[in-house]
Amino acid sequence: MGWIGSKASKGWSCFSPSLSIFTISRRRLNPRTLMFLNLRYRFGGGIASLAGAAFLIRDCDFPGQNIHVLEEMKVLGGSNDGAGDGERGYVIRGGRMLNDETYENTWDLLRSIPSLDHPELSVRDEIIAFDTAHPTHSNARLVNRDGQVADVTSMGFDMADRLAMVKLIMTPEENLGTARINDWFGPHFFKTNFCYMWATTFAFQPWHSAVEFKRYIFRFMHEFPRVHTLEGVTRTPYNQYDSVILPLQKYLEGHGVDFSLKCTVTDLDFREGDEITVTRMHYLKDGEPRVLDLGEGDLVIVTNGSMTEGYSLGSMNTPPKLNGKGSSWQLWERIAAKKPGLGRPSVFADHIDESKWESFTVTCQGSRFFDRMEAFSRNKAGTGALVTFKDSSWFMSIVLAHQPHFRNQPEHVKVFWGYGLFPDGIGDYVPKKMSECTGEEILTELLHHLHFQEDMEAISPPPTVFHV
């Protein structure tokens, strides 16, 4: 029995790091049973587990009926989620962008998965065709406090910023240690156009790791010349649950993969010794404790930690509540305490004030907001990507996707998404922390930043806002 772990990721790379741990072999595998314990996500089977199963079937001739995915929730998809309806409203917890020049493992996977709408095409072909028909070129990447589109033709660097960037690129990772981004760059850097755009594209906060920041610089250096237009964004036809997860799930079901939903793995037992060998799994099925003994031929792959673990949902009239650690973090803590070498979950889970953020999904019954936003930004919905309010105390951004964004979305309904990187900041127009605001208050703050506040009464019926 083997154990492989991967930590949660964020921003653009929410796909590729998860997939890469599964491209470990193209030879035939012989374990009697391959078991994916999808413990990383609270809201559906994660992309790592599903992708790993697909690679094993495709590349290793592994029988799908011997693959078992255990999932805590009643739906697959992990952080790549999207749910709701036109009447009650839709929810997307995170924003995700693909990039054609990178994400090699993702594209390799998706070219093998048939499209649901056009089975003669792969999901990869379908995405590229859609993206070609709806190219991204933002005309309003940054908006200032006066509700005006900011000039982003310059990165805004001074010489100190340039020298710090070059020094970061040249410094070996082992020499960076635990340095934070704001340990490396001075105050001016965080007021540059580049920082406003790069930070909101990849969800970086000033106290995040300088090592991770450097890795993103290397991985996406080709995006520097177009970070102000986001032309490098490759969009899916619908949200990523409908466009990626559902086709992948159908593919795996067609190969006999077993999905056990509402299963929460609570602990793993290990064989004594230096090697990492799982002998027993403890889990809850529909709330009932169960135990599974594992044999010599079984292989266990665990994905641990999640950016969306412990989420809660707010409404138009209520703010979300701050939950404690969810089951995946608790499991990681248990097994790390038992076995050296399984990482330090406390690095990721014990600094909630520095890792939390808040997103919101707005469902509009009508096109008035979209009409105003398209005229303001000079972008049709689905062509502009992120619009960031650079002077917002919540560091708020929104994106209007191509409509419909959901398979079951009625024609008259419009859906957009946004998020705030500083949820504990006091609003500029609503004098409260974003994390303490209702959906109505978040919408009020947004409309004031756009100087659309006169539309608050005119938007009828009022939008539905869910925030996470």
Are the C-beta atoms of residues 258 and 67 closer than 8 Å to each other? yes
* 3-class state of residue 91 by DSSP: strand
Are the C-beta atoms of residues 227 and 201 closer than 8 Å to each other? yes
The amino acid at 84: G
Q: How many CB atoms lie within 10 A of CB 334?
A: 16
* 3-class state of residue 87 by DSSP: coil
Distance CA 302, CA 267 (A): 11
Distances (CA, A) of 377 to 82, 181, 192, 315: 26, 31, 21, 27
Q: How far is it between the farthest Cα atoms of the chain? A: 68
Cβ burial of 45 (10 Å; 0-12, 13-18, 19+) is buried
Is 216 a residue of the active site? yes
Q: Which of 216, 251, 311, 419 is catalytic?
A: 216
Distances (CA, A) of 297 to 2, 3, 64, 188: 10, 13, 16, 57
Distances (CA, A) of 140 to 164, 192, 417: 28, 16, 16
Distances (CA, A) of 45 to 349, 386, 461: 20, 27, 35
**Of the candidates 13, 251, 11, 243, which has an alpha carbon nearest to the alpha carbon of residue 114?**
251
Q: What is the DSSP string of 38-73?
A: E-S-SSS--HHHHHHHHHHHHHH---GGGEEEEESS
Give the contacts of 355 (CB within 8 A, at least 6 positions apart): 348
Which residues are the active-site residues? Answer: 216
